[in-house]
């Protein structure tokens, strides 16, 4: 998972003439999701975005406060073009995760940010839309970060956790079905 982080004094996203989201001082973050990204990347990215120190403290010391320290806002925007490679003069986006899978992982990131911080301070654009992003870059400060590659051990652990979750969900559904059948039969 990749992010282009811009420290802003203000930012907003519009689709056509419709205002989708806006923030004051904080971070505007373009989020790219690759085919290989998973829940581990979401966790890493959420923690990094909330802890990265791009603001000065009250004493004027630069690079000393995060958005959390100053209770600022984040505007996240899905940006599949971050995972491009050039084929001649034409960009190829085959490394970017597509459609519903990308949207689910992006929404998971937004939920994770909200759970680690404050839901009302996390804003986003409109997934899959042709958006206009208006920023007042503060500094300017722009950084790129990317979640680190995962070891096979980490991938195996995530796979086991997902399998356990799927079994639990299936068991819950079977239990609900039996409960519904009993209710229908008057038991």
| Annotated catalytic residue 103 | no
Mean per-residue pLDDT over the chain, rounded: 92
Which letter, b or e, does each residue of 92-123 get, where b requires 16 or more Cβ atoms within 10 Å of its Cβ? Answer: eeeebbeeeebeebbebbbebbeeebeeebbb
The answer, yes or no, to whether residue 113 has pLDDT greater than 80, is: yes
| Annotated catalytic residue 79 | yes
The catalytically annotated residue of 6, 14, 80, 173 is 80
Q: What angle do CA 131, 45, 86 make, to 5 degrees?
A: 55
The catalytically annotated residue of 6, 55, 70, 79 is 79
What are 121's two structure tokens?
């301070």
The catalytically annotated residue of 71, 81, 118, 173 is 81
Q: What is the pLDDT of residue 19?
A: 98
Tell me the average pLDDT across 168-180.
68
Q: What is the pLDDT of residues 82-107, one digit of tens each?
A: 999 999 999 999 999 999 999 999 99
Tell me the average pLDDT across 49-72.
97
Confidence band for 187, pLDDT divided at 50, 70 and 90: low
Q: What does the alpha-carbon distance between residue 136 and residue 122 come to, in Å, rounded to a whole number?
A: 18
The answer, yes or no, to whether residue 184 has pLDDT greater than 70, is: no
What is the share, in percent, of the chain residues with pLDDT greater than 70? 91
Candidates 41, 9, 39; CA nearest to 26 is 9
Overall size of the chain counted in residues = 187
Tell me the average pLDDT across 135-164.
88
Q: Can you give the pTM of this predicted structure? A: 0.83
Of 9-23, 32-46, 58-72, 169-183, least confident by mean pLDDT is 169-183
CATH number of 2-148: 3.50.80.10
Annotated domain spans of the chain: 2-148, 151-186
| Annotated catalytic residue 80 | yes
The answer, yes or no, to whether residue 178 has pLDDT greater than 70, is: no
Tell me the average pLDDT across 109-124.
98
């Amino acid at each position: 998972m990749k992010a282009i982080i811009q420290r802003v004094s203000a930012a907003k996203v519009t689709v056509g003439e419709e205002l989708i989201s806006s923030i004051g001082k904080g971070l505007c973050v373009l989020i790219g999701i690759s085919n290989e990204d998973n829940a581990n990347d979401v966790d890493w990215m959420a923690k990094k975005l909330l802890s990265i120190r791009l603001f000065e403290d009250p004493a004027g010391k630069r690079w000393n406060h995060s958005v959390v320290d100053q209770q600022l806002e984040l505007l996240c925007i899905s940006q599949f073009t971050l995972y491009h490679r050039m084929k001649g003069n034409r960009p190829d986006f085959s490394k970017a995760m597509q459609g519903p899978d990308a949207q689910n992982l992006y929404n998971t990131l937004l939920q994770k940010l909200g759970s680690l911080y404050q839901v009302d301070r996390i804003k986003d654009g409109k997934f899959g839309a042709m958006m206009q992003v208006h920023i007042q870059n503060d500094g300017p400060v722009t950084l790129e970060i990317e979640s680190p590659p995962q070891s096979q051990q980490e991938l195996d652990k995530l796979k086991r956790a997902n399998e356990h979750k799927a079994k639990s969900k299936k068991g819950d559904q079977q239990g609900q079905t039996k409960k519904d059948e009993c209710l229908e039969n008057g038991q």
